[in-house]
Amino acid sequence: MASRLPETMCLACSQPIYHELEQTRKEVRILVIEPAASHEPVRCTFQTISLLDDALPQYETVSYAWGDATKRDVVYIGGHQLSVPLSAKNVLQRMRRSDKPRTVWIDVICIDQQNLVDRNYLVQLMCEIYSSTSTGFIWLGKDDHNTEATFDAIRALYHEARTETQDFETFKETVWPGWWNVYGAPTSVVFDAKHMARLFDNAWFSRLWCVQEAALAPNSICHCGSQNLPLLHLLRAAIWLYSKTKSLPGPLDGHRGLARAVHIASYADATFKVPFQAGGNLLWMMNTLRQYSASLDKDHVYGLVGMYQRFSPQDYEMSTSLVPRYDRSARDIYCDATKLAMAELNTLDALLYVCHHSDEEVENNWLPTWVPQWQRKQDLNVDHFPLNHNGFRVSGDTKPNISPKSEEPLEVLTANGFVLDHVRDTSPAFTLETLRFVQSFLDLCESIEAAINQIEPRPTDLEHTLIASLDRMRVPTCAEQSVSGYRALKRYLLRRGQFPTPGLAEDDTDASDGHAYLEALNRWLRNRCFFTTTTGSIGIGPKVMRDHDLVVILYGSSVPVVLREKKARADTYLVVGSAYVNGVMYGEAMEKHRAGGTADSTFRMA
């Protein structure tokens, strides 16, 4: 959390507030808030402790969203004025007792924000600092006059969930029977949906550092004004609500803050092991946690290092690639972290998350083209879903042998493989607009069908290819089912002039089959294009791919990768993105390549 806030400033100090910490002893500062009446200035002192000591003094960690950083006030540290964000002063004022001191860790004060060495050192210790706390104090801000009623509703939802799942014994299988069950029976708890939505709109649920703080503290209490309740109660109530999404009132249906609270639970609730918890690897964390905000792009790596230390399934030792160094560029940090993620899993699957928005971004990106933009939230208006189906094994059992300590420049990724084919033609992208307007959709389908009719022999499995052979839940479908769904959708569109929607008459098979196929299209074809190759293969790939791009199979990749020769550098390629190619996704082309004894190629990607 150290880097997310503006610098603290000592006002008219004749002596330094901060003294150097002894790193070999893992020393940290904690803040002792002196007792006082609510209207008095906030006065504190520092206490230095060693995390190596067997018996640590009790302290609470503070987790809060800082809000408007330009609003400032002062607190007193050892008699010296320190300018801090108003939000930090407010939370200390709320925590202060009238009769005895209170000891806390709060990042913006306990870290010398003007000292890069201090900042790097203490961010590296976040896992230990938060894990050693007695309690996490989560500050959601002041009471908005509806807080009491909303917190009462959260308590009621928690108790309803507890009762209906036999004291949470059947909780997981109720809300997650292999997928998120959003069709749970309506809750009997009466609450104001707008006020509940406002609670989950709180900025705390959207900040990456707050996720880590909740995940690392052994237990936390949420405070909003004078109201409080355990974080785990709030998170389980959120999961219970989320499982009833389809019956929730408008303000909560599809609410992002509610969904983020559910995701936070996968890290913060040690007894509720949802599938996210299996993702203790760095790649999973960087991808799923980029939906949260951080003030610095660098913190989309550094802001999860503590969680990676805690949840990594391996015996953790801080990689030099992840040691916080705020003097480094976000570009270098992302390159290092992505290579480390590849090396950890010994796959190239980080390439699945490369999603360029334009040709300009491919040609003139601030990052190497093989590095995903970890700071960018997924936006389905412009992004596609990654082709991360566990069954795809286009490169068979091969491994990439990625080394974070490669002799290549940091911005270069080198991998072996072979050219599968060259792109011959591409369709316009299937955008959100295409999938909203019937005639646009039909016109695009007609042009694709006309294009493949020109190929001899005519490719088969068009309908299967358009949905990457998967339904919307990533479950493989058979080719016959895809053909049936595609034809049902077209018949329905021509007959009714509108897209099929859920809840249509059960006896209208065109509506039900067509809707299922449409949902798969929305999942896999949105913001992708259809393409053909010079040898007559068909596939779907990134919307920015062009004629003459290369489709390659790289060792250690689960899907084909589209590359483009870098201008003026014939030995270097740009990563355009990943693709689905009909007939090769389960290692068929790899087996043929091995059987033919063809030499591998080395691809240098930048």
Distance of CA 471 to the CA centre of its chain: 22
- Is it the case that residue 301 has pLDDT exceeding 60? yes
Give the mean pLDDT of the chain: 91
Phi, psi of 30, deg, nearest 5 = -120, 160
- Asked whether residue 124 falls in the same domain as residue 111, the answer is yes
Q: How many CA atoms lie within 13 A of 487 on its CB side?
A: 7
- When pLDDT is cut at 50, 70 and 90, the band that residue 8 belongs to is low
Ordered strands of the 80-85 beta sheet: 9-11, 80-85, 72-77, 43-50, 27-33, 102-105, 60-64, 135-139, 220-224, 227-230
Nearest-Å Rg of the Cα atoms of the chain is: 27
Residue 470: which domain range?
432-447+460-524
121 and 106 both lie in a single domain: yes
Q: Is residue 503 very low, low, confident or very high in pLDDT (cuts 50, 70, 90)?
A: low
Output the six-digit token pair for 169: 């014994």
User: Residue 275 pLDDT > 60, yes or no?
Assistant: no
CB 17 within 8 A of CB 91: no
What percent of the chain is modeled with pLDDT above 90? 78
DSSP annotation of 42 reads: P
Per-position DSSP letters for 422-449, written without gaps between them: EEEEEPPP--TTTTT-HHHHHHHHHHHH
Residue spans of beta strands (DSSP E) within 34-101: 43-50, 60-64, 72-77, 80-85
pTM > 0.85: yes or no? yes
Spacing of C-alpha 43 from chain mean position: 39
Same domain, 9 and 89: yes
From 524, 540, 567, give the residue that closes a domain: 524
Q: Which residue has the higher pLDDT, 316 or 55?
A: 55
User: What integer pLDDT is reported at residue 6 of this predicted model?
Assistant: 44
Q: Does residue 326 register a pLDDT over 80?
A: yes
Name the 3-class secondary structure at 85.
Answer: strand
- d(Cα 488, Cα 517) in Å, to the nearest integer? 9
3-state secondary structure of 90: helix
What does the alpha-carbon distance between residue 418 and residue 427 come to, in Å, rounded to a whole number? 25
Contact call for residues 375 and 208 (beta carbons, < 8 A): no
Neighbours of 55 (CB within 10 A): 4
219: in domain: no
Supply 193's token pair.
């949906």
Q: Which of 89, 121, 139 is the last residue of a domain?
A: 139
pLDDT value for 402: 76
The tokens describing 113, both together, are 């924000």
Q: Are 124 and 324 in contact (CB under 8 A)?
A: yes
Question: Do the Cβ atoms of 263 and 276 come closer than 8 Å?
Answer: yes
> Which residues does 343 contact at the CB level (< 8 Å), separation at least 6?
402, 403, 404
**54 and 96 both lie in a single domain:** yes
Q: Which of 377, 558, 548, 530 is nearest to 448 (CA)?
A: 530
235 pLDDT band, cuts 50/70/90, is very high
Residues 6+ apart with CB under 8 A from 182: 242, 243, 244, 245, 246
User: What pLDDT band is residue 70 in, cutting at 50, 70 and 90?
Assistant: confident
Please give the pLDDT value at position 13.
Answer: 52
* pLDDT band with cut points at 50, 70 and 90 for residue 496: very high
Residue 438 forms part of a structural domain: yes
Mean pLDDT value across residues 62-75: 89
User: What's the pLDDT band for 310 if we cut at 50, 70, 90?
Assistant: confident
DSSP assignment letter at 25: G
In terms of domains, do 94 and 162 share one?
no
Nearest to 581 by CA among 459, 493, 489: 459
Q: Are residues 117 and 178 in the same domain?
A: no
Position 202 pLDDT exceeds 50: yes
What mean pLDDT comes out for the span 577-595?
97
Please state the rounded mean pLDDT for residues 137-148. 93
| Residue range 25-40: mean pLDDT, rounded | 96
Which residue is associated with the tokens 């976040």? 126
Residues 116 and 193 in one domain: no
* pLDDT score at 504: 57
Distance between CA 458 and CA 85 in Å, rounded? 66
Residue that is last in its domain, among 505, 524, 543: 524
Widest distance between CA atoms in the chain: 87
Please tell me whether residue 406 adopts helix, strand or coil conformation. Answer: coil
Shared domain for 161 and 129, answered yes or no, is no
Please report whether residue 91 resides in a domain. Answer: yes
CA distance 524 to 580: 10
Q: Check residues 204 and 248 and name the one with the higher pLDDT.
A: 204
Contact 382, 527 (CB under 8 A): yes
Same-domain pairing of 77 and 17: yes
* Predicted pLDDT of residue 320: 80
One domain for residues 149 and 252: yes
398-457 pLDDT, tens digit per residue, is 999 776 566 789 999 999 999 999 999 999 999 988 878 999 999 999 999 998 988 888
How far apart (Å, rounded) are the C-alpha atoms in residues 414 and 559? 17
Residues 50, 121, single domain; the answer is yes
Is 568's pLDDT higher than 80? no
State how far the Cα of 311 lies from the Cα of 107, in Å rounded to an integer.
22
| pLDDT at residue 38, as a whole number | 87
Q: CA–CA separation, 511 vs 499, rounded Å?
A: 9
pLDDT at 279: 59
Query: What's the residue count for the chain?
Result: 606
In a domain, 342, yes or no: no
Give the chain's domain count. 3
Confidence of residue 144 (pLDDT cuts 50, 70, 90): confident
At 585 the pLDDT is 98
The answer to whether residue 541 sits within a structural domain is: no
The answer to the question of residue 601 being in a domain is: no
In the predicted model, what is the mean pLDDT of residues 93-122?
A: 96
Instruction: Specify if 298 maps to a domain.
Output: no
| CB-CB contact of 346 with 556 (8 Å) | yes
* Backbone conformation region of residue 562, classed left if phi is above 0, alpha if psi is from -120 to 50, else beta: beta
Tokens 């070999």 belong to 24
Q: Could you give the CA distance from residue 566 to residue 291 in angstroms, rounded to a whole number?
A: 31
Q: Please check whether residues 114 and 154 belong to one and the same domain.
A: no
pLDDT, tens digit (0-9, with 9 covering 90-100), for 522-541: 999 999 999 999 999 999 99
More confident residue, 165 or 380: 165
